Amino acid sequence: MSGPKYALSPALLEHREGQLRSLYGAVLQKAQASTRDIVLGFWTDAGMQWLWVDLLKPKPYIALLKELPRTSLKERPPILAFLNAHLLGQALRETYVIKEYGRILSLSFAHDENPLQIEVCLIPGHPNLGVRAYKKEIWWAKPHPYEPFEWKDQPISKKEVEELDQAWSARFQQKVVDSTQKNDVEHLFKKQIQKQERAIIKVRADLESKKNKPFREIAQWITSRQSLEVPPEWV
């Protein structure tokens, strides 16, 4: 099976950071997680916007979505509890790429006294996400020291961004197909079970009817003839 046909380049990360600036002032309302993802929901005048951070080790990714794909986000890693406790209800204030270390994105949230920050590391092989609040911090995985990076500004077209997002989102389409196939198999299995149950009920009813038939016939004979003498085959 071939690997994912997308990659998060420095140019794409810088483009994504530019998109996030449109969320300045938006309040973080929801945070969810899967075994490889952290998803942040921001409330805006146009409705919810979702910052999806895919921490797949070989090829991490980050996307900004208007709707959530159909997938499970029911994991509860320790970082999620920390994030929910300290950052929910806070407004996004600033975002920037830490270019000297490469694909590192910082998100700062408005707060009067203590800085509240999410740091997203999207370096292949060592993707990570950390939350800093009230002089404490917690990470998705054990953090690795950052190495100096030679950043080169490169343009990226809207079409390239759309193609990369589409290639990345294919992971959810496969899950929908798998889920549909699973549901079809389960439905067919249930129909077969129901058919077998109806057949069993019919067989039992037939057996019960045949078992009781001689007694009904004897009763009808005695009643109609007012005699206790019955045909020898019934004796």
Query: What does the pLDDT profile of the chain (235 residues) look like in tens digits?
Result: 455 578 899 999 999 999 999 999 999 999 999 999 999 999 999 999 999 999 999 999 999 999 999 899 999 999 999 999 999 999 999 999 999 999 999 999 987 777 899 999 999 999 999 999 998 999 999 999 999 999 998 999 999 999 999 999 999 986 544 444 444 556 565 677 777 778 777 767 766 665 655 666 767 767 776 766 666 665 5
Element (H, E) at 48: strand 47-54
Which strands form 27-33's sheet, in the order they lie side by side? 27-33, 37-44, 47-54, 61-65
Which pLDDT belongs to residue 151?
92
Please name every residue paired with 80 in a beta bridge, in sequence order, or none if there are none: none
Which pLDDT belongs to residue 113?
74
Which pLDDT belongs to residue 30?
97
Element (H, E) at 27: strand 27-33
CATH superfamily, with its number, for domain 10-156: ibrinogen binding protein from staphylococcus aureus domain (2.30.310.10)
DSSP string, 96-164: EE-GGGSSEEEEEE--SSS-EEEEEE--TT--EEEEEETTEEEESS----------------HHHHHHH
**What are 228's two structure tokens?**
């206790």
Which pLDDT belongs to residue 185?
56
Distance CA 48, CA 145 (A): 34
Which pLDDT belongs to residue 198?
81
The span from the first CA to the last CA of the chain, in angstroms, equals: 75
Distance CA 9, CA 169 (A): 17
Which pLDDT belongs to residue 212?
59
Distance CA 216, CA 105 (A): 86
Global confidence as pTM? 0.72
Which pLDDT belongs to residue 189?
58
Asked if 182 contacts 80 with a C-beta cutoff of 8 angstroms, the reply is no
Which pLDDT belongs to residue 106?
98
